């Protein structure tokens, strides 16, 4: 059997033989054979890595499930020989990603790494002490071999068995070297997801390394979510300049990014439902793989959006190999939750894959009579329609109900003194029930025309049906003892239709490389509101009497709204040299909104348009360091008319940002960003015409953000951030507001989450986690009439992993600190949850 034929039968193996560094040489015939034999779109799953010492050096083998072949792109950079495999991923059978590392494996070689460079590329790097290694590429019985010539005495084969990558970190292995006494140390590091995510598509709509994007982007990966037992509210505490204005256990989040309320997106499609708050009713994270936060204006990608940034939920996708996961959690305040995650192929050829995530949560809360139930079912199925065509269909069903949800209590008696004393922490004034049914279904079709050109088309339908009968707080009575209330009996229905089409092409003009994207977005958003308002009896905050009869009807509402949007964008990612990159693009949007009032039998319509440019540059003086700067704009429709009948123009956001991103190594990275954002055309009261508005308002946000994510040492992970944000009203017709901090914003926020897992010995598999979360003083309202005190809370975790079993105990607010989690108004302040503990057990099988 010939060597080439035998290669096709050895399960797509890549081998690396290492020795003394000299010049790089490549035999191109075998490499060309490999490139031509694999379809451009097929992604080979490398399920394991072996390290075998040989008589010439070290052999690193990349294992695949079948006889799949790998594409190769070789180059040298400084003293490193680098091979990119642009059709493969390091991924365990259960879907977890991992990395391989061997430090100082033999004389003259400082490090070997095998990592996921992006979502479709494996990078193999062999680094010499002084110069690039000499590498000869050929096919062998063992697979594709990078043979590094040795200038020293040939090594004898060791007696010790080969080192094989496994899901968990391995103990270093030693073998004799050519010098006799000098050992070869092979350190193989396996990551289960990891705390550092090197690339994302949220910033460009193309899969791009974060270090090459001239904008601050924070990714909260699956392992952080798992280790913290996080929901949406607690997960976003990890991100600089991002805070949820809503309290824990609220029906939907109220996100502020860099001081501005921001929408939520799912897989790159922004939700208009409830001004973006309804993208994730719950706010459970079932079916969510990670959270990408794009900091700064993002209208070029999403159309109408906040100048502060956008939070994007990335859903879990089907796996090629069978994966079954089950988990159960119990905790304080009668918390019970079960979750299942199943995935794998539906046919022998693995062309049809599925994934099913489901969970049910039933929990109480520290406020009296409060209870929440949440059912989530999230299926996904994908089809390989051909070598270059893929179709995925996904959906989500959520059934959320809440009894006596916490709507807040007054600032007087909580933050501010009350002559009657302190209002109890567990006091509830709402008597009512909320039910929400959320549905989401859509598809994504991708086709690769050639190695350089591709098209994708995605459609999604979202629906949320709210029904609720709640008693809302309306302020204190003169004796500061009772809270006024009104009753709302509402039915709210939201529908959203979204279609996104992207055409991506790669080409060169001389030595300059381009990745060009044409985007076409089409959307419709519909909402309908039916409401009946009744008077409700005040409730004594210190001696409440529940169940009092409702009063007369005070008002009725029956309205609907339809928003049609069209967006066209062009973007070019330009690479002048390996260390100089430019991102430039622009988007044109048009929108029409029609509002109907069925009680007055009236209809109004308003149209508008906006252009949103973005320019950013990245310069990398050395490969691990990226210096960047950007200028970008955003818009949001301002619906309504001024006193003279003129239509309001969209509000505009303008940002200038500079920063530096540093890969301390391939496991640890940091980002420092400085920004200045101005939002103009803000509606403010018309001083000459009572009840009307004019667009003379302006808000300015300035700040600094610092984040550190990744693995410090094997087993020791960190996810930390600090943000200084100064968001103020810079112009308003009310001079008393000018210079005030914007409501709920805090100048200083910081977070630290770190875990350590023992790597060997009797404690192997045992892990500890510690979290510190600091929020500074916040403005209670735009008038700055009161301040919400800052706080520091501590979380802790202890977990144990053994084979497919994992058990964990998570503690939140370890020291039972009294603090105020959020504020909606002077009448609606929210205490933070006290000491809370949850226990979890899970199996992967």
pLDDT at 96: 66
* Dist CA 212 CA 616 (whole Å): 10
Ranges in the chain annotated CATH 2.40.170.20: 323-844
Q: Which CATH superfamily is domain 199-315 in?
A: TonB-dependent receptor, plug domain (2.170.130.10)
Flag whether pLDDT at 765 surpasses 70. Answer: yes
- 384, 348 in Cβ contact below 8 A? no
- 693, 684 in Cβ contact below 8 A? yes
Q: Which residues contact 5 (CB under 8 A, 6 or more apart)?
A: none
Residue 548 is classified by DSSP as: P
Flag whether pLDDT at 780 surpasses 90. Answer: yes
Q: What H or E segment, with its residue span, contains residue 224?
A: helix 222-228
pLDDT at 319: 94
pLDDT at 81: 76
pLDDT at 404: 93
Closest by alpha carbon to 703, among 305, 306, 258, 297?
Answer: 258
Longest dimension (CA), the chain: 97
Question: pLDDT tier at 40 (50, 70, 90 boundaries)?
Answer: very low
Tokens at 159, concatenated: 């007696």
| Per-residue pLDDT reduced to its tens digit, 270-310 | 998 877 777 778 878 999 999 999 999 999 999 999 999 99
* Dist CA 489 CA 467 (whole Å): 8
| Per-residue pLDDT reduced to its tens digit, 610-641 | 999 999 999 999 999 999 999 999 999 998 88
| Per-residue pLDDT reduced to its tens digit, 711-742 | 999 999 999 999 999 999 999 999 999 999 99
pLDDT at 251: 82
* Dist CA 561 CA 604 (whole Å): 10
Flag whether pLDDT at 385 surpasses 60. Answer: yes
Flag whether pLDDT at 39 surpasses 90. Answer: no
Tokens at 675, concatenated: 């920004």
| Per-residue pLDDT reduced to its tens digit, 351-375 | 999 999 999 999 999 999 999 999 9
Three-state secondary structure of 572-636: EEEEEECCEEEEEEEEEEEEEEEEEECCCCEEEEEEEEEEEEEEEEEECCCCCEEEEEEEEEEEE
Flag whether pLDDT at 184 surpasses 50. Answer: no
Q: Which residues contact 256 (CB under 8 A, 6 or more apart)?
A: 242, 243, 244, 245, 262, 308, 744, 745
Peptide bond into 517 cis (omega under 30): no
* Dist CA 653 CA 669 (whole Å): 29
Closest by alpha carbon to 471, among 491, 488, 493, 453?
Answer: 488
What percentage of the chain carries pLDDT values higher than 90? 68
Q: Which residue has the higher pLDDT, 796 or 104?
A: 796
pTM above 0.75, yes or no: yes
The arrangement of secondary structure in 323-844, i.e. its CATH architecture, is: Beta Barrel (2.40)
Three-state secondary structure of 474-517: EEECCCCCEEEEEEEEEEEEEEEEEEEEEEEEEEEECCEEEEEE
pLDDT at 121: 81
Residue 654 is classified by DSSP as: E
| Per-residue pLDDT reduced to its tens digit, 447-466 | 999 999 999 999 999 999 99
* Dist CA 792 CA 776 (whole Å): 9
User: Per this entry, what is the length of the chain?
Assistant: 845
Scored b (16 or more CB within 10 A) or e, 429-468 reads bbbbebebbbebebebbbbbeeeeebebbbbbebbbebbb
């Amino acid at each position: 059997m010939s060597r080439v034929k035998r290669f096709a039968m050895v399960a797509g193996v890549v081998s690396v033989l290492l020795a003394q560094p000299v010049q790089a040489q490549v035999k191109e015939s075998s490499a060309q054979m490999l490139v031509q034999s694999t379809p451009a779109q097929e992604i080979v799953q490398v399920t394991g890595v072996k390290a075998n010492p040989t008589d010439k050096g070290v052999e690193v083998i990349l294992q695949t499930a079948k006889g799949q072949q790998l594409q190769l792109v070789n180059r040298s950079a400084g003293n490193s020989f680098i091979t990119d495999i642009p059709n493969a991923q390091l991924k365990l059978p259960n879907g977890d990603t991992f990395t391989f590392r061997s430090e100082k494996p033999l004389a003259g070689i400082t490090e070997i790494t095998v990592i996921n460079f992006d979502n479709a590329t494996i990078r193999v790097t062999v680094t010499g002490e002084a110069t690039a290694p000499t590498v000869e590429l050929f096919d062998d019985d063992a697979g594709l071999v990078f043979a590094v010539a040795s200038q020293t005495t040939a090594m004898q084969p060791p007696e010790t068995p080969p080192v094989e990558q496994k899901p968990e970190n391995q103990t270093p292995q030693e073998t004799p070297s050519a010098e006799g006494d000098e050992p070869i140390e092979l350190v193989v590091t396996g990551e289960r997801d990891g705390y550092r995510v090197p690339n994302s598509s949220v910033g460009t709509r193309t899969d791009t390394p974060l270090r090459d994007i001239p904008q601050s982007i924070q990714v909260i990966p699956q392992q952080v979510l798992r280790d913290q037992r996080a929901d949406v509210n607690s997960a976003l505490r990890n991100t600089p300049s991002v805070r949820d204005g809503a309290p824990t256990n609220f029906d939907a989040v109220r996100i502020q990014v860099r001081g501005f309320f921001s929408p939520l997106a799912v897989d790159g499609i922004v939700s208009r439902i409830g001004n973006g708050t309804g993208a994730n009713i719950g706010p459970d994270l079932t079916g969510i793989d990670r959270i990408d936060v794009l900091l700064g204006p993002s209208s070029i990608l999403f159309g109408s959006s906040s100048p502060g940034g956008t939070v994007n939920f990335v859903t879990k996708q089907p796996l090629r190999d069978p994966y079954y996961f089950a988990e159960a959690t119990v905790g304080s305040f009668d918390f019970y939750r079960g979750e299942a995650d199943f995935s794998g192929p539906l046919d022998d050829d693995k062309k049809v894959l599925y994934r099913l995530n489901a969970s049910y949560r039933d929990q109480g809360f520290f406020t009296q009579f409060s209870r929440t139930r949440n059912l989530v079912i999230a299926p996904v199925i994908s089809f390989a329609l051909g070598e270059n065509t893929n179709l995925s269909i996904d959906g989500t069903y959520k059934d959320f109900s809440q009894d006596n949800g916490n709507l807040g209590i007054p600032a007087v008696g909580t933050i501010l003194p009350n002559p009657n004393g302190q209002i109890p922490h567990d006091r509830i004034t709402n008597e009512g029930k909320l039910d929400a049914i959320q549905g989401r279904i859509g598809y994504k079709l991708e086709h690769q025309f050639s190695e350089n050109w591709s098209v994708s088309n995605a459609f999604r339908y979202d629906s949320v049906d709210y029904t609720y009968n709640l008693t809302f707080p309306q302020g204190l009575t003169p004796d500061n003892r009772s809270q006024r209330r009104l009753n709302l009996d509402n039915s709210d229905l939201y529908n959203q239709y979204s279609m996104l089409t992207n055409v991506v092409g790669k080409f060169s003009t001389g030595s300059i490389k381009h990745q060009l994207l044409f985007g076409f977005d089409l959307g419709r958003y519909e909402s309908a509101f039916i409401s009946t308002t009744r008077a409700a009896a005040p409730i004594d905050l210190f001696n409440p009497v529940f169940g009092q009869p409702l009063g007369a009807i005070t008002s009725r509402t029956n309205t609907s709204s339809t928003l049609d949007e069209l967006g066209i964008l062009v973007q070019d990612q330009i690479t002048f040299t390996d260390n100089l990159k430019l991102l430039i693009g622009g988007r044109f949007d048009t929108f029409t909104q029609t509002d109907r009032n069925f009680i007055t039998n009236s209809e109004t319509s308003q149209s508008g348009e906006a252009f949103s440019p973005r320019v950013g540059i990245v310069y990398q003086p050395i490969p691990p360091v990226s210096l960047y700067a950007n200028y970008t704009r955003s818009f949001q429709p301002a619906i309504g008319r001024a006193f003279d009948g003129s239509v309001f123009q969209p509000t505009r956001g303008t940002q200038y940002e500079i920063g530096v991103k540093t890969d301390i190594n391939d496991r640890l990275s940091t980002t420092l960003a400085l920004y200045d954002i101005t939002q103009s055309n803000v509606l403010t009261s018309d001083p000459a015409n009572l009840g009307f508005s004019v667009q003379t308002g302006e808000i300015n946000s300035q700040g600094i953000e610092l984040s550190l994510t990744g693995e410090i040492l094997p087993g020791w992970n960190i996810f930390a951030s600090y943000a200084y944000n100064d968001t103020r009203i810079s112009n308003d017709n009310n001079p008393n507001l000018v210079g005030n901090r914007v409501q709920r914003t805090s100048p200083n926020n910081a977070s630290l989450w770190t875990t350590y897992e023992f790597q060997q010995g009797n404690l192997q598999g045992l892990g500890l986690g510690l979290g510190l979360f600091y929020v500074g003083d916040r403005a209670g309202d735009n008038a700055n009439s009161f301040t919400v005190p800052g706080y520091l809370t501590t979380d802790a975790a202890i977990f144990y992993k053994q084979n497919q079993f994992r058990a964990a105990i998570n503690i939140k607010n370890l020291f039972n600190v009294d603090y105020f989690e959020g504020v909606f108004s002077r009448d609606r302040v929210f205490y933070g949850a006290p000491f809370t503990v949850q226990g979890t057990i899970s199996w992967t099988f």
